[in-house]
Structure 1
Amino acid sequence: MLAGLTVGFTVGATTIAHADFRVCNATQELVGVSIGYRARTGWITEGWWHVEPTKCKTLIEGPLASRYYYLYAEDALRGGRWDGPVNMCVAEREFKITGVNDCYARGFQKSGFREYDTGNQQSWMVQLIDEAQSSDTNTNTQ
């Protein structure tokens, strides 16, 4: 994780009735986001969603089908990252990749994703913030 950016979380219910996985960008910079999850066909990574400052994007629409989701994000201007220890494949441009092994051999890059345990909730939100701000949040809704 680069200096200046961090991801933390608190969990709480919201009154929004949407069932989806959303990422909100509470920074002042454009952020590129990718997500990983386990599907019936195996591991999938998808990206890039461009989330403008103070905006949110829905990465998965509808009720969540998995308990665990994995997120990797980059600050487009400063190069900071929100990452974690779970390696998955990514590409430079828009992508949907099946499998997390042999990323380089298959022509992809490898990035460390952070795991989010949604506790089988129907909805989940991750809020990305700068380290200088007080807290980042993940919010689940039922």
Structure 2
Amino acid sequence: MNRFVVVGWAVGLGLLGASFSVPVQAKEGLLTIRVCNRSADDALVALSYVPPGENRFLNEGWFRVEPGECKNLAKTDNANFYAYADVDGTDRYWGGSHDLCVEYPGPYEFYSTGSDYCEADQDVKGFVPMTAKEPGTYTWNLDP
């Protein structure tokens, strides 16, 4: 099985002052970001990842993942990416410590600018930082 081959990394400034890793050179193999919703509610998922062959983080949402469903949402050649999910119309969410901007109601798509603030039509959410160890499929399970 191919392993990610990291040739070099640069650290960039993410939205709201958080840092993230950007590949200086591509790694071997692609990573599929997959989300499995193991809860009883529809989940809306937002991602921040580097599309294959690019060097900037793309932020996009909202991907609807129904209860019991697994969906492949994106492909990347960067081992580092970020995800957030919530249940529409409630305070329930799956999040983390990496602050990024999102847009409601969506769908939305924009590249990270390195700015430390969100636009007027955006909100801040805490994303989960994730790192894949090898190419293939990385699955994020939304547990009840």
Find the counterpart in structure 2 of residue 95 from structure 1.
108
Compared CA separation, residues 102 and 113, structure 1 to 2 (3 A): same
Q: State the 1:41 CA deviation.
A: 4.7
1:21 aligns with 2:45: no
Q: State the 1:25 CA deviation.
A: 0.3
d(CA) in 2 for partners of 1:76 and 1:106? 21
Q: State the 1:106 CA deviation.
A: 5.5
Matches within 5 A, 1:52-67: 52-61=66-75, 64-67=76-79
TM-score of the superposed pair, with normalisation by structure 2: 0.68
Structure 2 spans left out of the alignment, 5+ residues: 1-30
Compared CA separation, residues 102 and 114, structure 1 to 2 (3 A): same
Matches within 5 A, 1:31-110: 31-39=43-51, 40-61=54-75, 64-92=76-104, 93-99=106-112, 101-105=115-119, 107-110=121-124
SS state at 1:42 partner: coil
Structure 1 spans left out of the alignment, 5+ residues: 1-18, 131-142
Compared CA separation, residues 47 and 129, structure 1 to 2 (3 A): same
Q: Which has the higher contact order (CA 8 A, sep 6+)?
A: 1
Q: State the 1:124 CA deviation.
A: 0.6
Matches within 5 A, 1:4-19: none
Compared CA separation, residues 77 and 104, structure 1 to 2 (3 A): closer
Letter in 2 for 1:117: T
Work out the number of aligned pairs and report it. 111
Find the counterpart in structure 1 of residue 22 from structure 2.
none
RMSD between superposed Cα atoms in Å:
2.1
Compared CA separation, residues 53 and 77, structure 1 to 2 (3 A): farther
Identical counterparts, % of pairs: 24
